[in-house]
Amino acid sequence: DSELKKEDLQRIIELMDGFKASKALFTSSKMGVFDLLQTRPGLDAAQVAQELKASVKGTECLLEACVALGLLKSKGRTGQSPMYENTHLATRFLLSDAPLSLQGYIRHCNDTVWPLFSHLESAVQDGSNQREKAFGKKSQDVFQDTYYNSKEVKLRFMNAMHSIAKVTGKAVATAFDLSKFKTACDIGGCTGAMAYEFTKAHPKLSVTVFDLPAVVEMSEHFHPLHTDNRVSFVAGDFFKDELPKADLYILARILHDWPDEKVHLLLSKIADACTPGCGVLLSEIFLDEERRGPSRGLLQALSMSEGKQRSATEYSLLLKSHGFVTAHVKHTANLLDAMLCIKA
């Protein structure tokens, strides 16, 4: 029927405006709006503009947009300009020093993902990522050729991984009973954020973080205040080098980056290192079996990396072909799901 439904119009407008909302969030986060208003709540637009060294007009527009998006609150004063402060959402996720800060990931979205998505048409036409168009550099391996080429980009990527791992770490670490495992190896464990969540949740577990030398050499920048001697770091290439021995191998957000051939290469190395009873704890976004959602996973796939997003069944089958039996699958309420597989 031709009647216009208000919800339909609302939904389509939300989708059309989504990119403006994202960019407003990225910009206010990058300019330091939320950190400033946390230490000095109640500033007006002119004061914020002065602190951020930005125009009053631009700052006013940005702050008003943040209010409409639920990131800031404004208090009107008769005859005076409104005062701004953070909402609980901003305090929880957008301050640089909040325990669940997403600032690192937001920065990565702004500086890396946004330029890639601005070439989405070519990405879809070619079926390949647009890193060369977006950043002017040819690359084979996204990590070694793009992210770890410059210290600045490397730290930005590590910060992004760190912030997501801190938000999801506890849900992944507590998804299953891991009491029978004494040693774990976090393959591609980056800054160690996930490893620290595992040792916090499992007092008898030690975790070795295995990642590329370029990453391991920077890991001390990310150690928590109270370091834990049950977390250690080993540098190497998981496609080429020997993997550290462990009872449990953690693969968090690793397999989606790689095509099936590379996944088989890595899984066969893990299987070789395992004795019966050893485990693999896989953590990814699991697509629905019909590939209809979650949209987060399907939208991420549009960055057209070498890898692909898979369902829990697809991951189970990949692991099964290396002798791992899926024991449990858990859809957490957090950003990542988890699966525990045991070597037969």
- Applying CB under 6 A, the residues found at the interface with ligand SAM are 143, 161, 164-165, 188-190, 194, 211-212, 215, 237-239, 252-254, 257
Contact between 207 and 186 (Cβ < 8 Å): yes
- Least distance to ligand SAM, CB of residue 108, Å: 11
Beta carbon nearer to ligand SAM, 215 or 287: 215
Residue among 106, 134, 181, 136 nearest 303 (CA): 134
Q: Which of 162, 256, 264, 322 is catalytic?
A: 256
- Least distance to ligand SAM, CB of residue 321, Å: 21
- Least distance to ligand SAM, CB of residue 170, Å: 13
Integer Cα distance of 303 and 153 in angstroms = 18
- Least distance to ligand SAM, CB of residue 212, Å: 5
- Written as six digits, the tokens of 242 are 């020997």
Alpha helix (H) residue ranges in the chain:
6-31, 33-39, 45-52, 56-68, 88-93, 103-108, 114-117, 120-126, 131-135, 151-173, 193-201, 213-216, 260-273, 295-301, 312-320
Q: What count of other Cβ atoms lies within 10 Å of the Cβ of residue 30?
A: 13
- Least distance to ligand SAM, CB of residue 190, Å: 3
Beta carbon nearer to ligand SAM, 58 or 294: 294
Beta carbon nearer to ligand SAM, 44 or 211: 211
Residue among 218, 232, 233 nearest 153 (CA): 218
Beta carbon nearer to ligand SAM, 60 or 197: 197
Residue among 168, 160, 203 nearest 281 (CA): 168
- Written as six digits, the tokens of 118 are 């601005």
Indicate if 256 belongs to the active site.
Answer: yes
Please identify which residue in the block is written with the tokens 């699958």: 329
Beta carbon nearer to ligand SAM, 29 or 163: 163
Q: Which helix (DSSP H) or strand (DSSP E) does residue 113 occupy?
A: none
Helix and strand numbers, DSSP H then E, in the chain: 15, 10
Q: What residues are annotated to the active site?
A: 256
